Amino acid sequence: MANKHISLLAFLIAAMICAALSGPVMAEGSTQVFTAGKSAAYTVDDLDSAWRSEIPDQTKYQYVSQPDWQMRFVENWVQVAVLAEKGRLNKIQESEDFKLTWSIREASLNAGLYFEKIIAPELAKIQVSEDEIKSFYEKNKQARYFSGWREVSHIIVADKALADKLYAELSKKPDGFAAAAKQHSLDEDTKDKGGALGRITAGDDRFPPEILPVYLQAVAGKVSAPAQSRFGWHLVLASAASKPDEDYKPLDEALKNEIRPLVSAEKQQAAALAAITAQLDKLDVKINDDAVPMIAAEWLREMKRQSGVPDETPADAKKPDPATVAATLGKPGVKITLRELDLAWTQEMGDGFKSQLMAQPDWQRTFLSRWIEVAALAHLTREQKLDQDPDFQRIIRVKKDSLLATLYFEKFVNPELDKLAVSDDEIKSWYDTNKETALYTGWRESSHILVASREEIDKIYAELKKSPDKFAELAGKHSLDPGSKDKGGVLGRVSKGQFVPEAEKAVFGTPVGKMSEPVQTQFGWHIFLVTAASDPKDDYMPFTDELKEQIRSRLLTDRRRAQFLDIISKYRTEMTVQINQAAVPEVGARWAEALKKNLPPMSPQQ
């Protein structure tokens, strides 16, 4: 079990998220906001829990940018509650899908709660000493805090033997470096310049990270020993360098304050690891090594299939038995099966975490270790009755309703939506109706004259009708548009949507070689001269099979949304949903108030 805790960082992130969602315990006797059916009733505190635990921060900010955001949120959660109530009436909570999925979700929540209540308070006590800051600085100064520079040249060769030979020669005669670079270097950009790269500093993106320190540590006048990167073997000669006392950021108070949280994070992670390890050691964890390669095996095969990667699994190979026990926590008698792990992998792990994990050679064992930690802390949460906290129970209720609503939707609503279709005639009708606005791809080239009054534009228009070839002259003489008047009023090529509506109508409604009648916009009075236009056959997106499918998808999405809202409306009527309008402004109010306090001061213009 030496490597069983290497996924600690991911665990900390998940636990911290849960901790942030839990928040302070709310006051008892919270105001009721809505009811639906016999058992669905939500108070302000319930909805605050839903707001904190189910809505991503970015979505919260989108909500609060709207004047009626609290009612919008309440209405959206009514949909969840109505579907959840339908799920209960149809006994979704008794299905195996619900029971197993909920056990996974509850384990994650419980593990996060234990971290928040038991481990996190101890981590908060950790202090960072001056000696620890100095030690961190010394250990990381080359990688993080180098502020100097080097004037360097380099040679890159393909094999070590040649690199060693050149190093032996050039160490004795560095003045031969330029000639050697011209003769041997693989870097076509610098070889003709004798390998000269100029001045380099930390973060220079011309070099892979693994080789950059060789360049930055080069000693003026000396050739560095051969060092390998993915491009080959490098020899480096520094011709000049910053002063040694300028090579690194000084460890002043500002830098100490920058380093302190980094050291604190390292210490907290180590302490959290020790705390979790101590608990796991008490629970007698045993891993079934034979089961480890089977974890998420079917998921992996499906991902390969979707990516077009050949499946090397033998055709006669048996699928892993989902009931296979991959690990046990002996003392509490907890068994972790492949089915549980596969469900945790697909439903609890984000794509980013999966990608990071699968980059490791033994990712399945690492993931198993991660879930063992979750299972252990979840057991401790139940054992110590931490899950009886009132605010946590509200989050549990919200999460259960969310899962019930999802499973009900998948089983009963989505099959009805899947029956919807869009005919080819409907697609063609939409195309014809919207081609001028949504599908227009044409362009016009035009010039214009802009003046302030109707009287002045009428005079110019009358003169142009007699002498159309004077358009550029009159634009230069009279137009108020500084961007075009010196060019004879030329505006260049434009597509629809680039002009205000009145100007667009005039430009796109005037034949090539003709000028529009005077037209007024918010900027003044215009006359437009259309000088060129796209070929009419290129003015609209062609009605191809690809476009048909795009339109079909758009129409089908709109139809599904409308049908879903009709279904929800019917359910709401059946359940006689009642909303206490007076309580709506209380929902999310505490969060919004905290947000205001944390925002920087805003100017009147903002």
Residue 190 in any domain: the answer is yes
What's the rounded Cα separation, in Å, for the pair 75 and 50?
13
Q: Which helix (H) or strand (E) holds 235?
A: strand 232-241
Which of these three, 199, 228, 246, is where a domain ends? 246
Mean pLDDT of 90-95: 96
The pLDDT score that the predictor gives to residue 28 is: 47
pLDDT surpassing 50 at residue 91:
yes
∠ Cα 31 32 36 (to 5°): 175
How far out from the chain centre does Cα 406 lie?
A: 23
Q: Is residue 515 part of a domain?
A: yes
Residue 22 neighbours by CB under 8 Å, 6+ apart: 112, 113, 116, 389, 391, 392, 395
Contacts of 499 (CB under 8 A, 6+ apart): 507
Residue 599 pLDDT: 56
245 Cβ neighbours under 8 A, 6+ residues apart: none
Q: From 229, 246, 263, give the residue that closes a domain.
A: 246
Judge whether residue 450 has pLDDT over 80.
yes
Is 459 among the domain residues?
A: yes
pLDDT tens, 364-413?
A: 999 999 999 999 999 999 999 999 999 999 999 999 999 999 999 999 99
d(CA 429, CA 496): 22
pLDDT at 8 over 80: no
514 domain residue, yes or no:
yes
Lowest-confidence pick of 17-21, 42-46, 290-294, 347-351:
17-21
Number of domains in the chain: 2
Domain that holds residue 508: 440-538
Q: For the purposes of burial, counting CB atoms within 10 Å of the CB of 344, is it exposed (0-12), middle (13-18) or buried (19 or more)? A: buried
Q: In this structure, are strands 232-241 and 285-287 parallel, antiparallel, or unpaired?
A: unpaired
User: Do the bridges between strand 334-337 and strand 444-451 make them parallel or antiparallel, or are there none, so unpaired?
Assistant: unpaired
Average pLDDT of the residues in 165-181: 96
Task: Give me the percent of the chain exceeding a pLDDT of 70.
Answer: 93
What 3-state class would DSSP assign to 515?
strand
* Phi, psi angles (nearest 5°) of residue 207: -125, 145
User: What is the arithmetic mean of pLDDT over 489-506?
Assistant: 93
Res 601 pLDDT > 50: no
pLDDT grade, residue 29 (50/70/90)? low
For residue 147, the tally of other CB atoms under 10 A from its CB is 13
CATH of the domain at 522: 3.10.50.40
Q: Say whether pLDDT at 524 is over 50.
A: yes
Mean pLDDT in residue range 206-228: 91
Quick check: is 489 in a domain?
Answer: yes
The answer to whether residue 7 is domain-embedded is no
The model carries a pTM of 0.72
Helices (H), 95-242: 96-114, 120-124, 130-144, 160-172, 177-184, 212-216
Higher pLDDT, 22 or 248: 248
Q: Name the domain boundary from 246, 273, 299.
A: 246
pLDDT at 315: 66
- Decide if pLDDT at 5 tops 60: no
Asked if the structure places residue 182 within a domain, the reply is yes
Asked if residue 34 is part of any domain, the answer here is no
Report the pLDDT value the prediction gives residue 209, as an integer from 0 to 100: 83
Tell me the mean pLDDT in the region 115-126.
Answer: 95
